[in-house]
Structure 1
Amino acid sequence: MKLSVIASLLSILYLPAVFSCTTILVGDKATADGSYIIARNADHSALTNQHYFHHPRIDNASGKFKSSFNDFTYPVPKTSLAYDSFAKAMTHDHSWGSAGFNEAGVGMTATETIFNNPAVLKIDPYVENTGINEDSIINVILPRAKTAKEGVEILGKIIEDRGAAEGFGVAFVDPDGIWYLETASGHQWMATKLNSEDCFVSANQGRLQQYDPKDTAHYLASPDLIRFAEQHGLYNPQQDGVFDFHKVYSKDDKTDVRYNYPRVLRLQHQYNPHLTTVLSEPMAFPVFTKPEKLLTVDDIKAGLRDHYQGTKDDPYAEKDPYAPKRPISVFRTYESNILQVRPELPQAIGEVTYIGWGMTALTPYIPFYEGAKIPHIFREGGNSADEHSAFWQLRTVQTLAMVDYKQFAPIVQSAYQKMEQEQAQLMHKTEQEYLALYKKDPKAAQKLLDDFEITIANQTMATAKKLQLELITKLTADIDHKYHFAGA
């Protein structure tokens, strides 16, 4: 009996993140510093501890990758590139990579859970038992992709040959730009390269529409994407006009209007305040927008932390766990990642991953340089609370703050905002010192980055511990006041 209960719990923890994630992509001419940014909230279970790992380069590698979710396997490349990944603790980073960069300068975040057209899936269903899925993508693609476009091509070929086990969107970035891939069915897919001036938002649904098979510099897809739709009566060029990927291959229903479109609308209006789109007409939403002002990493953080604050739809201010609109920041977010590529800088500091453990509205984003050693505290702990791991130190603050969001959230947010500003100043100083060092003294430059990460880790954990004590003190006073029993 005990074994069956444990097995059931494990299966829940390994389930794909259904109804999860919000993705933001920003081209280099839409950012204030000329960087490319891909970002995503991963939402599933509040108890899912995440570890941040570095996988070393392996020459003459052999064997197979094995999914921890289904029976999907894939050969390990002979030369397995070094890469970082952000994975569920229970897998020991054998799978569920989530996000990271590799030594070739390719970054990925995977996946945005999406849902394909049920009519298409009747013809070409997901290959649930042996197809590729969220737990496999990062750990299969990053060890072998030399460019973002090649990453798209590798994943696309796997979908064609082996099938997709579920619907998903995946973002790729390198110094040349951003690509975004969406599944269409069990074996169909398409991807587009983001224009430099554009911003793209996705929230648990297929968003891509335009596809030009002749323009391979900006579009890639399964070879028979359009022909398949025609053959099965899903698309008629004479009646339907220009091929629309979303109309043919994506699902649109009442759930999208309540659960997905509000998040897209919120972020598009946040970055483009003069947009006139309304929730009652979601098909009028643009797929891509040009932000009215150049965006920064802080703007992306704000988007990923959004929960309709300042409106009647804020579930936390209104203490409404059944609010009709699903917010972007939810308590069950187990990690949030922002991957930034600054092509003009050396790769070691030009590629930065900002990671938020847990609920984004109540957690700091911690910067990690691609060239730095990852402190061990970010690779500790499991799915039960402890006193040592970074995840549980940060999650404890969030749990305490949610007891009285209106009173405690401002305290937490103010402390982390101050800390993030201090860390941004330290980043600037570290980068200037690195640029002066890395050519003449590579070892000293490396130590500089490693020391930066240790300093950041210590500062973050000290701030979290201080917040825990402050919130416990305030809760103690509140409870004492409520149940004082001091006589008449």
Structure 2
Amino acid sequence: MACTTILVGKNASYDGSTIIARNEDSPAGQFTAKRMKVILPADQPRHYRSTISHVEIDLPDNPLRYSSVPDACASKGIWAAAGVNEADVAMTATETLTSNERVLGADPLVELTEAKGKEGEAGYVGEQSGGIGEEDMVTLVLPYIRSAREGVKRLGSLLEAYGTYEMNGIAFSDVDEIWWLETVGGHHWIARRVPDDCYVTMPNQLGIDEFDLADARGKRSEFMCSADLEAWMGEHHLDLTITARTAGEAKDSKTDAARSSEAGATGTRIFNPRDAFGSHSDADHVYNTPRAWSMHRYLAPHGGWDDPVGALGPESDDLPWCRTPERKLTIEDVKYTLSLHYQGTPFDPYGRLGSDSTRGIYRPIGINRNNFLAVLQIRPYAPAGSRALQWMAFGSNIFNALVPLFANVNELPEYLSNTEEGRVSTESLYWASRLIAALADAQFSLNTAHIERYQLAVGSKGHALVAKADREVAKLTRADAAARLATANERLAAMLRDETDRLLFNVLFTTSENMRNAYSRSDG
């Protein structure tokens, strides 16, 4: 499934929070209705069967409560997508990734094989289940982990045991760390800790561009991987590194001899997973890498991204996976970044720069088929009972607004939870957001002011209501805080609904006034 992810380390964020955020996007030609739901321990399955792959897994008997964003229609599986558990550990899954023929030949994906023939007859071959995938991962992992590292280890063990039928990237965070895991072929995986002072951009491509195998097989302080990764890479000639180099060293800063000497002396073994496991296709250069470029261009604006002769353009294969921002990043920065449509460039489909041949040539981040945006913030300074916030928006990100919700609750407001597949209703935030986007897009320039006022109102009132709730629960236990925070979430949802209804009215009026069949003379 098409998505875009941004991760913000605690020293790169405005308030010391760890922040992981992801758009979930529908495939081309369809929209997937989404809703929110809290899964209580009693409701978590003890035996799980995947709808897509039919893999069956027994689950532990001590799950934690967690929030989720499942599909409104469960006929194709749960797709829990993003959430925070009661230990204040967050997870978002998944970012679909690209790979290459060498990797998929060396470790084929584990796909469902249907039964052939009839049972009991000669030549019958029974069904072979597939591995785990995006449909399953949050349900299988988030209820059982108490740190981001534990998330990597649990998901890694499941991948090694059951395999996967697709390439994916998965983020985990707690109050101290963010980890990013990428699947490699059917059973292999790598994971890297996000540097505390950096942000990470991920646009549907395998992204990690530097990996220390010595750390991954030793201390595991910054890197982890499947147990046999190095041997498997060697057997199938997957490492494309020309010479060894030390961690963090620029590719061209030393001679080959110096790099090899230092790598041997320090015991490091650095390689580029993007070269080994990823892709650099023509499709990437219009669908994936331009999104990373646009994120970097906003978050580190003086990085030379617009230099016509530079090596960091929208189709570059060498855009950094992580980078230190030029200033600390806010929730609003994350929202704006995950709504980008190449503003200020010749590629903006709504812009006046460029030409018909450039506007819309690259796939935007803020696209018509955004399903939702979840921004998972773990705040180190907040009261223990209200540390985790799950900021949410539905529909196309250009036209929606983020609302904060407290994760330490047993239920979530109906306005964000009552989505029904195929039944459009303004009683549901998901469908109201879809309606607003379709109407506003038709008269984009005239509706922009309405959208901006809406986003400012929801964001500012959301921050104020969060601060009020923090004060209310400051001296309460986690258990006692849950009920108070559920009330705070209802206040937030009521505010959001008022602002959304107002926006829908304004956008409907503006677009209706400018329909092509408009005529200035009134009756009489």
Quote the Cα distance in structure 2 between the aligned partners of 1:429 and 1:145: 30
Amino acid at match of 1:50: K
Cα deviation digits, residues 134-191 of structure 1 (max 9, x gap): 0100011012122211111111112112111101100000122000001111111100
Q: Name the counterpart of 2:102.
A: 119
Deviation of 1:410 after TM superposition, in Å, equals: 2.5
The answer to whether 1:365 aligns with 2:393 is no
- Counterpart residue number, 1:431: 470
TM-superposed deviation, 1:281:
6.7
Conserved 8 A contact 2:46-2:61: no
Q: How does 1:49-68 map to 2 (within 5 A)?
A: 49-58=33-42, 63-68=46-51
Please, which moves more after superposition, 330-339 or 148-157? 148-157
* Structure 2 residue aligned with 1:265: 293
3-state DSSP of counterpart to 2:361: coil
Moved more, 251-260 or 317-326: 317-326
- Tell me which amino acid in the other structure corresponds to 1:383: E
> What corresponds to 1:155 in structure 2?
155
Assess if the C-alpha contact under 8 Å between 1:230 and 1:236 holds in 2. no
Task: Name the SS for the 1:254 alignment partner.
Answer: coil
* 1:233 aligns to 2:233 (yes or no): no
2:22 pairs with one of 37, 40, 47? 40
Change (3 A) 1:423 1:222: same
Contact 2:346 2:359 in 1 (8 A): no
For residue 422 of structure 1, give the secondary structure of its aligned residue in structure 2. Answer: helix
- The answer to whether 1:103 aligns with 2:103 is no
Alignment of 1:197-276 (within 5 A): 197-215=197-215, 216-235=220-239, 242-276=270-304
- The superposition leaves residues 48-84 of structure 1 with CA deviations (integer Å, 9 ceiling, x where unpaired) of 221111111249x874112222212221211122111
Identify if the C-alpha distance between structure 1 residues 428 and 238 changes in structure 2 by more than 3 Å, giving closer, same or farther: closer
Give me the whole-angstrom Cα distance separating, in 2, the residues matched to 1:62 and 1:379. Answer: 20
Letter aligned with residue 514 of structure 2: D
The amino acid of 1:223's aligned partner reads A
**Whole-Å separation in 2 of the counterparts to 1:442 and 1:218:** 34
Letter of the 2:295 counterpart = L
For residues 480 and 358 of structure 1, the distance between their equivalents in structure 2, rounded to whole angstroms, comes to 26
Tell me the equivalent position of 1:463. Answer: 499
Structure of greater Rg: 2
Give runs of aligned pairs for residues 10-409 of structure 1, distance below 5 A: 17=1, 20-44=2-26, 47-58=31-42, 63-91=46-74, 95-129=78-112, 130-215=130-215, 216-235=220-239, 242-277=270-305, 278-279=312-313, 282-317=316-351, 323-372=360-409, 373-384=411-422, 385-409=424-448
Structure 1 residues 225 and 409: CA distance shift in structure 2, 3 A: same
**337-346 vs 464-473, which deviates more?**
464-473
One-letter amino acid of the structure 1 residue matched with residue 276 of structure 2: V
Paired residue type of 1:455: R
1:132 partner SS: coil
* 1:423-467 deviation digits (Å, cap 9, x = unpaired): 2122112212321x415x964x44432222111111211222222
Q: Is the Cα–Cα contact under 8 Å of residues 23 and 40 in structure 1 kept in the other structure?
A: yes
User: How far is 1:283 from its partner?
Assistant: 3.5
Cα displacement (A) at 1:193 = 0.7
**Aligned partners of 1:85 and 1:93 also within 8 Å:** no
Bigger mean CA offset, 181-190 vs 454-463: 454-463
- Are the equivalent residues in 2 in contact too, given 1:348–1:370 (CA < 8 A)? no
- Within 1, Cα distance between the matches of 2:40 and 2:202? 32
Give the direction of change, closer, same or farther, for the CA distance of 1:375–1:281 in structure 2 (3 Å limit).
closer
* CA distance 1:466–1:190, change in 2 (3 Å): same
The share of aligned pairs that are identical, in percent, is 29
SS at match of 2:105: helix
Cα drift, residue 94 of structure 1: 6.0
Consecutive unaligned residues of structure 2, counting only runs of 5 or more, are: 113-129, 246-269, 306-311
Name the stretch that deviates more: 472-481 or 24-33. Answer: 472-481
Q: Is the 8 Å Cα contact of residues 58 and 79 (structure 1) preserved in structure 2?
A: no
**Alignment partners' CA distance in 2, 1:224 and 1:480:** 64
- Cα separation, partners in 2 of 1:62 and 1:458, compared to 1, 3 Å: closer
Q: TM-score, normalised by structure 2?
A: 0.83
Q: Is the Cα contact below 8 Å between 1:348 and 1:369 reproduced in 2?
A: no
CA drift of 1:353 comes to 0.6
CA distance in 2, matches of 1:356, 1:190: 30
Alpha-carbon RMSD = 2.5
My pick for the range that moved more, 210-219 or 467-476, is 467-476
Amino acid at match of 1:257: H
Unaligned stretches of 5+ residues in structure 1 = 1-16
357-366 vs 389-398, greater mean Cα deviation: 389-398
Letter in structure 2 aligned against 1:156: G
Partner of 2:144, secondary structure, is coil
Q: Give the structure with the larger helix fraction.
A: 1
**Segment drifting more, 454-463 vs 278-287:** 278-287
In structure 1, distance between residues paired with 2:454 and 2:132: 41
Q: CA shift at 1:404, angstroms?
A: 1.3
**Structure 2 Cα separation of the partners of residues 394 and 281 of structure 1:** 32
Between 28-37 and 249-258, the greater mean CA deviation after superposition: 249-258
- Deviation >4 Å, runs of 4+: 236-242, 318-322, 483-487
Structure 2 CA distance for partners of 1:322 and 1:427, relative to 1, 3 Å? same
User: What is the DSSP-based 3-state SS (H/G/I as helix, E as strand, rest coil) of the residue aligned with 1:414?
Assistant: helix
| Aligned amino acid, residue 219 of structure 1 | F
Task: State the match for 1:419 in structure 2.
Answer: 458
User: In the aligned structure 2, how far is the partner of 1:332 from the partner of 1:223?
Assistant: 38
Change (3 A) 1:230 1:237: farther
Alpha-carbon distance in 1 for matches of 2:134, 2:498: 34
Are the structure 2 counterparts of residues 62 and 425 from structure 1 closer, same or farther at C-alpha, using a change threshold of 3 Å? closer
Matched residues in 2 for 1:442 and 1:140: separation? 25
Measured in 1, the distance between the counterparts of 2:499 and 2:45 equals 44
How far residue 38 of structure 1 moved from its aligned partner, in angstroms, is: 0.4
Question: 1 CA distance for matches of 2:68 and 2:76?
Answer: 8
Identify the range of structure 1 (165-174 vs 384-393) with the bigger mean alpha-carbon deviation.
384-393
Alignment match of 2:484 (pick from 448, 459, 482): 448
Change (3 A) 1:480 1:220: closer
SS of the equivalent of 2:279 reads coil
